[in-house]
Amino acid sequence: MTHPTWTDRLARLVDTALDRSVVLGYPATGHAVRRRLPTWPADPPRNALSGKHVLVTGASSGLGIRTAVDLAMLGAHVHLVVRDPMKAAPVREQLDEVAAGRHTTWRCDLSDQASVRAFAAAYLATGLPVDGLVHNAGIMPPTRQEDAQGRELTMSVHVLGPVALTEALLPALAAARDGARVVFVTSGGMYSQALDLDDLDFRPEPYRGAVAYARSKRAQVELLPILARRWGRHRISVYAAHPGWAASPGVTSSLPGFARLTAPVLRRGAAGVDTTTWLIAATPAPPSGGLWHDRSERPTSYLSRTRASDAERQELWQWVARHAGIAD
Give the strand order in the sheet containing 103-107: 103-107, 77-82, 53-57, 132-135, 180-185, 236-241, 291-293, 296-298
Helix (H, G, I), strand (E, B) or coil at 78: strand
Which amino acid is it at 213? Y
Q: How far apart are CA 53 and CA 38, in angstroms?
A: 32
Q: How far apart are CA 52 and CA 133, in angstroms?
A: 11
Q: Residues with catalytic annotation?
A: 213
Helix (H, G, I), strand (E, B) or coil at 195: coil
Q: Classify residue 146 by its DSSP letter.
A: B
CA dihedral (240, 283, 275, 65) positive or negative: negative
Beta bridge partners of 81: 57, 106
